[in-house]
Amino acid sequence: MKKRLEYLLFFVAFLMISFLGIQNHRYIGYFNWKTEIWSDKAGYYVYLPSLFIYDFDASRFPEAMDQQTGDGFNLDLQNHKVRTKYTYGVSLMVSPFFLTAHLMAKVAGYPADGFSPIYQKILNVAAAFYVVLGLFLLRRFLRHYLGEKWSYLTILILFLATNLLYYTVDETMMSHAYSFFLFALFLFSLQKLLTGNRPQITWFFILSFSIAVITLIRPVNLLLILVLAFWNVASFKEFQARFKHFLKIRYILIKAGSFILVFLPQIIYWKYATGHFLHYSYGNEGFSNWTSPYLLEVWFAPLNGLFLYSPILLLMVAGLVWMIIRREPNGRLIAAMFLMVSYICAAWDTWYFGCSYGQRSFVEHLSLFSLPLGFFLKGIFSRRQPDGKILIGLLIIIFTYYNLRMSYAYEKCFFGSTWDWPQYSRQLASIGLFPNPSGKITFMNDTENSSLNSWKTLTREQSRSGMYANKVDENNEFCCQIVKKVGDLYGKAPYKVEVTAWVSAPIRLDPEIYLVCSIESAPSTPFLWLSEKIDTHLKNLNEWTEVTRTFELPVGLHPDYLINVYIWNQNREKLFVDDIKVSIE
């Protein structure tokens, strides 16, 4: 009876989360940046229609489908190739749902093209299914360490108070919901394997298969092999025994066979797409910050900082410290995993991982980090003293409420600079957790956030702060655009715009580079055009110089008008621009 009730509970959770995901995408339309088959997500997904509908022939796809889905993949019509830089792991997970949608489309007479609404809607169901199943397995794993009551409480808080919720109901074709399930499956099968009275080949195969798919989706997740090596290991002697145990030929064959089974289709695809069996598809992207990792930014920056968007994880850190102090099993191992994951994320080129709600690369690791969180909750609420219980209970309620409100209102990207606290405060104001700004409203662009810049103009040749600056040259006539609608300025009637930018020129400039403030009645339709030449401010070549200009605005601007600030390089001379700030009063 108890087991049936558990199954019923998780089935109801699956139905509710599926409904929430579908409702959340109900009014956003299709083929736009808020839909599920778009950009990176389209790159993960394209394997399915390619395999089951179009035979990997780009010429058979609907016209310009790569452009209609945000260029997450490329249709090479000349060579009839479908090219994506992403691996097929997410498509593998989604494939049963895709085939269900494909059958439903054919039976119901909907377009069976792989991209029509029925295919997009079922992705919300897929993410809900895998996350709920992951939570189910995770609870089974946690109860071995925490007991029944605390394992339920832990997974409930983990789902509602972290960005796992957002990636379950909002970004349902991103990899994180599926990787979360695979991590939970790994931990569940590991527990079964280690607590069995005799060798269990089936559980080792499941564990090996989960590691293989996790690695296929995101290679750095091969770190999970350390958990297999050190979980519940208390001494070097125990480590030696485990190492020898898993070096047995049957385990080596299972592990190798799992990786071959999972990676062989990917290798075949790489050969088809590139002519090579092995291929690094990320081009110039990589781990360029090994010696100067962005750790503080990864943890605390308004631009997708881990603890700023999932503050409940501060209790996880407290649980880790507590586990280590009390010499609880696996405390040091989980702490080491947390630091390694943080360092790897901080060393990546785009350490904030583009459009993201918090640090999305930690979502799958939440299954592992749930143990210290649960350990902390159990330790606090099992004590007799009420003071600590009340304080932690209030923090949990506040952190959960904060995450629910932010997840609901979040616009998929943080449109601000790395340490842009004014933009973060405006996010809080939009959900009623912070008063609307009064007086001067400031917008910043430190050129680090790709959501605010074109990759065409970003460069690492020079930068005043961070890794990047914008470059205007013969290929880029315009850059550094900041556009704000008058009606979005909290009901204010703007009368002044102050612009500050840092610029550096390698050569003496012709006097035709302008700092522009354009008031537009519609995009690219100037109502008023104000400008100042930049070259008059520069004193020394290759030195960063602050350029400041105040533009007076006419009174009574219509709420639909746009304030558009940008750099115009009329003669296309080379100029570097960084750390732009626009203040509107």
Residues 16-55 pLDDT 10s: 999 999 999 988 888 998 899 999 999 999 999 999 999 9
Strand partners, 442: 583
458 backbone φψ class: left, alpha, beta (φ>0; ψ -120 to 50): beta
Mean of pLDDT over the chain = 92
Whether the CB-CB separation of 142 and 370 falls below 8 Å is answered with yes
Confidence of residue 488 (pLDDT cuts 50, 70, 90): confident
In contact, 473 and 574? CB cutoff 8 Å: yes
Does residue 220 have a pLDDT over 80?
A: yes
Per-residue burial over 40-75, b if 16 or more Cβ lie within 10 Å, else e, is bbbbbbbbbbbbebbebebeebeeebbebbbebbbb
* Mean pLDDT value of segment 557-576: 88
Give the whole-angstrom CA distance, residue 137 versus residue 557: 57
Pair 370, 499 in one domain: no
pLDDT of res. 421: 94
Tell me which DSSP letter residue 221 carries. G
Q: Report whether pLDDT(199) > 80.
A: no
pLDDT surpassing 60 at residue 260? yes
What is the structure's pLDDT at 440? Answer: 87
Is 111 a domain residue?
no
Looking at 353, 381, 409, the residue that finishes a domain is 381
Give domain status of residue 272, yes or no. Answer: yes
> 47 and 167 in one domain?
yes
What's the rounded Cα separation, in Å, for the pair 226 and 362?
Answer: 17
Q: Which helix (H) or strand (E) holds 106?
A: helix 89-108
Q: Please give the angle made by the CA atoms of 557, 562 and 565, to the nearest 5 degrees.
A: 115
In this structure, are strands 478-485 and 525-533 parallel, antiparallel, or unpaired?
Answer: unpaired
Between 379 and 506, residue with greater pLDDT: 379
The domain total for the chain is 2
DSSP 214: H
What's the average model confidence in pLDDT over 395-404? 96
| pLDDT band per the 50, 70, 90 thresholds, residue 1 | low
pLDDT band per the 50, 70, 90 thresholds, residue 342: very high
Q: Compute the distance between CA of residue 159 and CA of residue 168 in angstroms, rounded to an integer.
A: 9
- Statement to judge: residues 124 and 218 lie in one domain: yes
Asked if the model's pLDDT at residue 154 lies above 70, the reply is yes
pLDDT confidence of 569, banded at 50, 70, 90?
A: confident
Which run of H or E residues covers position 181?
helix 176-195
- Taking residues 297-323, what's their average pLDDT? 97
Residue 169: what pLDDT?
Answer: 96
Q: What is the SS3 string spanning 466-482? A: CCCEEEEECCECEEEEE
Q: What is the DSSP string of 428-466?
A: HHHTTSSPPP-S-EEEEE-S--GGGS-TTTEESS--SSS
Looking at the structure, do residues 211 and 341 belong to the same domain, yes or no? yes
Q: Is 433 within a domain?
A: no
Are 375 and 443 within one domain? no
Among 267-276, 494-503, 534-543, 551-560, the minimum mean pLDDT is found in 534-543
Whether 513 maps to a domain, the answer reads yes
**Distance from C-alpha of 124 to C-alpha of 170, rounded to nearest angstrom:** 8
Span 469-488, average pLDDT? 88
Whether 94 and 163 share a structural domain: yes
Task: Give the three-class secondary structure for 548.
Answer: strand
CATH of the domain at 550: 2.60.120.260
pLDDT score of 128: 97
Integer CA distances (angstroms), 161 to 109, 142, 364, in order: 41, 18, 15
Same domain (yes/no): 358, 449: no
449: in domain: yes
Is residue 18 one of the residues assigned to a domain?
Answer: yes
Single out the residue in 381, 404, 422 at which a domain terminates. 381
Confidence class for position 536, pLDDT limits 50, 70, 90: low
Give me the percent of the chain exceeding a pLDDT of 90. 71
Q: Are residues 253 and 322 in the same domain?
A: yes
Does one domain contain both 473 and 351? no
Non-local CB neighbours of 227 within 8 Å, separated by 6+ positions: 186, 187, 190, 333, 337, 368
Nearest to 547 by CA among 563, 529, 528, 532: 532
Whether 389 is in a domain gets the answer: no
Domain boundary among 365, 381, 397: 381
pLDDT (tens digit, 9 = 90+) per residue, 281-293? 888 888 999 999 9
Nearest alpha carbon to residue 553 among 470, 467, 469, 489:
489
Please check whether residue 456 lies inside any domain of the structure.
yes
What is the residue range of 146's domain? Answer: 2-99+117-381
545-554: average pLDDT: 90
Q: Is the pLDDT of residue 212 over 70?
A: yes
Q: For 59-69, what is the mean pLDDT?
A: 95
Neighbours of 237 (CB within 10 A): 9
Q: Which two tokens stand for residue 439?
A: 């007086």
> Does 61 share its domain with 163?
yes
Q: Give the Cα separation of 174 and 45 in Å (integer).
A: 9
Identify whether residues 358 and 464 lie together within a single domain. Answer: no
73 plus 164 within the same structural domain: yes
